[in-house]
Structure 1
Amino acid sequence: MTLHVTETDDLAACHALRRTVFIDEQGVSEADEMDDLDAGAVHLLALDGDRPIGTARLLLQGDTGKITRVCVLAEGRGTGAGAALINAAIASLRDRGAAQAKLGSQCHAIGFYERLGFEVYGPVYDDAGIPHRDMVRRL
């Protein structure tokens, strides 16, 4: 695998990845997945060579960067693509002056984010039918 992560304007590639993972695999409705926040967001694309395998979306809210819509295709999971996306997100948010990063983790992925320095806070909540917990990391 030749992995690299880049900022992108290729929303079609990001949407295709999100459709595959969230809508097709996880059963999230299109109405829940495709919102109006993409236009004002920074989008990251993880590529294996020139093939998109993962994406993440960054939103700035004051000194907080919110990492959302993180997904990796099934064949890219366990390869380091997810960690590369999160590390690139952290670097991008730092470069934009964020003091902390927040995200809503699906409960099964909490350990993944903890290994990357995030801490859980708040109760479990439902997001599109999937249990989540909020997490935060100082930058």
Structure 2
Amino acid sequence: MQVMKVETKQQLDDAFHIRTEVFVKEQKVPMEEEIDQYEEEATHFVVYDDEQPVGAGRLRFVDGYGKVERICIAESVRGKGVGRLLMEKIEATARGEGAKKMKLNAQRQAERFYEKLGYETVSGEFLDAGIPHVTMVKVF
């Protein structure tokens, strides 16, 4: 598995492909909600397994913290540590750019995954694209 910070159009297309497979096709998030106004300002990441994209996510900086968004892993490789690798790369990138705190809105079903990575739930449940979420933070 290799986690890449997106630098080419092909890598960005691969990230969007995984996001479409997971969020749009699997979870039924409307495409117009999945691809949003923050795509150009975000730093994107894609995970490859033998040159096949299997994971994606993005990072933005908002009010001095790193905001992790659109984390998704292909169903075929879930539970194999791919999400952890992706998050480690995103967090290292954020720290390298001076972030002292990370924030994300986790789908409720992924809350335990993020807790294992040191994130703490700081909100009640809310719906995003019809899916239950909670806000979580991690301080370095």
Which TM class, normalised by the smaller chain length?
over 0.9
Which residue identity does 1:135 align to in structure 2? M
Structure 1 runs (4+) greater than 6 angstroms displaced: none
Write the distance in 2 (CA, Å) between the matches of 1:30 and 1:121.
Answer: 28
User: 1:12: which partner in 2?
Assistant: 13
Deviation at 1:32, TM superposition (A): 0.8
Give the partner amino acid of 1:56.
G
What are the ranges of 5 or more consecutive residues in structure 2 without an aligned counterpart?
none
| Cα shift at 1:122 | 1.1
For residues 73 and 88 of structure 1, the distance between their equivalents in structure 2, rounded to whole angstroms, comes to 18
The 3-state SS of whatever aligns with 2:113 is helix
Matched residue, 1:103: 104
Compare the two structures and name the one with the higher strand fraction.
Answer: 1
2:119 maps to: 118
Deviations 1:56-97 (A, max 9, x none): 100011320000000000001011100100111110100010
- Relative to the length of structure 2, the TM-score reads 0.95
What's 2:69 paired with? 68
Q: Provide the residue aligned with 1:32 in structure 2.
A: 33
Cα distance per residue 1:7-26 (max 9 Å; x no partner): 01322111111100000000
- What secondary structure sits across from 1:123 in the alignment? coil
Structure 1: 5+ residue stretches without partners: none
Secondary structure at the aligned position of 2:123 is classed as strand
Q: How many percent of aligned residue pairs carry the same amino acid?
A: 35
- C-alpha RMSD over aligned residues: 0.8
